Amino acid sequence: MKKTEQPCCGGKKEKEEVSCSCGGEQKEIKKYKTVYGARKIAIGAAFFTRVPAAPRVVEIIGDIVARFGFGRMRYAVEPGLYAVGSPDKNSVVLVSANYKMSFNALRKELKGVSAWILVLDTKGVNVWCAAGKGTFGTDELVNRIAKTSLAMITAHRNLIVPQLGAPGVAAHIVRKESKFKVTFGPVEAADIKQFLAGGMKASQEQRTVQFGAIKRLEVSLLEFGVTFRLLFLTAAAAVVAASFTKGGFSIASGFANSAFFLGAITIALISSTLAPALLLPYIPGKMFSVKGAITGAVFSAAYVAAARGMTPLTGVSLILISTAFASFVFMNFTGSTTFTSLTGVRREIAVSVPFQILLLAAGAALQIIDFVHKGGIKWN
């Protein structure tokens, strides 16, 4: 891939390139989210928006909802120049993405600081992912500097770009095209105050992307939300189907008849998302498909062991299907992590998918044999 052609949602795309476009075609965001307490201020022909450093409670709730993936692709603020505190022509300029969670994460670290925030149009995507796509990129940064008349507002020519913006922003090209000098700041917004106070120096640790238990749990909520929606429909269909009894339609018996199945689905949801994400370093295997398979197998085996009155065929079938499911779903967690490479993921898929299909097919075959054997599906 050429350096200037990062995988980009709206832009150029080379053949066979793995492009990440966040839910299919990148939609134009028509309506930006409100930033509470924002006030537009004009200076000559240019203007900026003054915002409070602290997001309101409703905005913090908005962040949590987006974590689960609900309305995530529309969770964007308007690109442009923002002010926190009372910045003047000598104040620092921090560059951010227009994903509202990114914007909130930065401004809440700026309590008591006067700074400019230059928000790029990343189509509502966070800094790191947008940098990978090129939307948090050299061209957008250079254009946004011009559009906001930043050179008229600041006396200096310095920008602080988050380090994770570096896959999209070429500092030497920004300087050539805009005269602004890019300094890469720390990975986390939480370290920005220290960075500013400490003479624009970040420690090795602040320059390293971390993936501790809390971070893993946070990002796994997305996979949880996506999988939940998928399984919810399956569960609802099962309840409805089980509600047709000899005595007529009854939702209560629907729930009673499908209770075992609903439990199995809950186990599948947890064992394919939250559990392996949290236990990531402790589960054997390097591939996510292996880690997911182990979690899926252990959880479903425990569930089968705890349940009563089930034929061995149903039990084994359930374990096989759960293992295949967790293996496949958790493989997709690679995209949420901080230490996987595209080349590695390609290898993992090539090796894992045949096994996943085999497990699923074996599980389905046992289920059919069981069905024929019993003359109908009886989960209980």
Partner 1 sequence: MELKYLGLNTLEYDEKKCTGCGMCEIVCPLRIFRINGKKAEITAKEKCIECGACSLNCAFGAITVDSGPGCAAAVLASGLKKGSKAACNC
Please give the residue ranges that form the binding site for partner 1 (CB under 8 A): 1, 3, 6-7, 9, 13, 15-25, 69, 125, 128-129, 131-132, 163-164, 166-172, 184, 187, 204, 207-209, 211, 222-223, 226, 280-282, 286-288, 331-332, 334-349
Smaller CB distance to partner 1: residue 89 or 176?
176
Rounded to a whole number of angstroms, the minimum distance from the CB of residue 31 to partner 1 is 22
The angle formed by the CA atoms of residues 185, 79 and 75, to the nearest 5 degrees, is 95
Rounded to a whole number of angstroms, the minimum distance from the CB of residue 285 to partner 1 is 11
Rounded to a whole number of angstroms, the minimum distance from the CB of residue 198 to partner 1 is 15
Smaller CB distance to partner 1: residue 257 or 356?
356
Classified as helix, coil or strand, 47 is: strand
The torsion angles phi and psi of 49, rounded to 5 degrees, stand at -115, 120
Smaller CB distance to partner 1: residue 86 or 204?
204
d(C-alpha 131, C-alpha 74), whole Å: 18
Smaller CB distance to partner 1: residue 163 or 323?
163
The angle formed by the CA atoms of residues 232, 234 and 239, to the nearest 5 degrees, is 95
Smaller CB distance to partner 1: residue 15 or 30?
15
Smaller CB distance to partner 1: residue 202 or 238?
202
Rounded to a whole number of angstroms, the minimum distance from the CB of residue 83 to partner 1 is 28
Q: Cβ atoms within 10 A of the Cβ of 339, count?
A: 9
Rounded to a whole number of angstroms, the minimum distance from the CB of residue 79 to partner 1 is 20
Residue 197: which residues within 8 A CB-CB, separation 6 or more?
none
DSSP state of 26: P
Question: Residue written as tokens 């075609």?
Answer: 25
Rounded to a whole number of angstroms, the minimum distance from the CB of residue 231 to partner 1 is 16
Classified as helix, coil or strand, 206 is: helix
Report the Cα 35 to chain-centroid distance in Å: 22
Cβ–Cβ < 8 Å for 151, 157: yes
